[in-house]
Amino acid sequence: MLIAPSSGAFPWPTAMFVWGEGDASSEHRHHSVQLILALTGSLRIRRSEGAAWHSCDAALVRADAPHEVDARGATVLIGFVEPESRLGAALAERIPLDIAHIPADEAARWRGVVCAGGLPGDAEIRRWIEADLHDGRPQPTLHPGVRRVLRYVRNHLHERDALSLNALAVVAGLSPSRLMHAFTASMGIALRPYLLWLRLQLACSELMGGASATEAALYAGFADAAHLSRTCRRMLGTAPTVIAASTARCTTG
């Protein structure tokens, strides 16, 4: 894991941001668009072992692209973003190959927004996502049925049977097929990967609160701890227990 145990985390519906003392990672890949920002110091990144290192203050990595990072001596913020989401699409457009290096002046501006209060704050990260990372993409208008589903999901996320497509269609007042279409149009991401991201965040939050891997997995609607671990490794490139150990707190958003 790139972040040594310390500092904090911020969940966004289709992303997770973590920050803390930087470390070095071996070559790895994950099914997320990754954003790496040095809050202090700088970092080095390369495509794979044996390739040339590139020093920068921030970088974007395409989903499923192999990469290796050395951020020792820096404080870093890392975002793991669902590639099919509105935010993921906006970031992916900035990555012509596997890795994009962010210009120093833009990285400095990002740091100024994220660390306006001295340390990363939830409100600052929200503003940064909307103002800078979405790249001016307008927020889609929510279908009324989708709005009802989002409210329902917040209150029933840990109830696995309550989030079936048929159950959510009843909440939305739509047919299952119409709900899937309206949800994608409204949210910029399909229903199933959206729910998976929320469940993964819920499981990580439970782990941060001291739950065992099995307890966190079952509470968040995963079949078992192994199912949670496989999902976390695929989406974030690491085990859920490492994410939990790397953060001291987690806020809900």
pLDDT, tens digit, 9 for 90 and up, residues 53-101: 999 999 999 998 999 999 999 999 999 898 888 898 899 999 999 999 9
What pLDDT does residue 70 have? Answer: 94
**SS3 track for the chain:** CCECCCCEEEEECCEEEEEEEECECCCECCCCEEEEEEEECCEEEECCCCCCCEEECEEEECCCCCEEEECCCCEEEEEEECCCCHHHHHHHCCCCCCEEECCHHHHHHHHHHHCCCCCCCHHHHHHHHHHHHCCCCCCCCCCHHHHHHHHHHHHHCCCHHHHCHHHHHHHHCCCHHHHHHHHHHHHCCCHHHHHHHHHHHHHHHHHHCCCCHHHHHHHCCCCCHHHHHHHHHHHHCCCHHHHHHCCCCCCCC
pLDDT at 6 over 50: no
What pLDDT does residue 45 have? Answer: 97
What pLDDT does residue 166 have? Answer: 95
Bridge-partner residues for 156, per DSSP?
none
pLDDT at 173 over 60: yes
- Within its chain, how far is the Cα of 169 from the centroid? 26
Structural domains of the chain in order of their starting residue, each with its CATH number: 8-133 (2.60.120.10), 144-245 (1.10.10.60)
What pLDDT does residue 250 have? Answer: 33
pLDDT, tens digit, 9 for 90 and up, residues 9-34: 777 778 888 888 888 888 888 888 99
pLDDT, tens digit, 9 for 90 and up, residues 105-119: 999 999 999 988 777
Mean local confidence (pLDDT), 153-160? 84
Q: What share of the chain in percent tops pLDDT 90?
A: 43
pTM: 0.76
pLDDT at 152 over 80: yes
Mean local confidence (pLDDT), 38-64? 93
pLDDT at 211 over 90: no
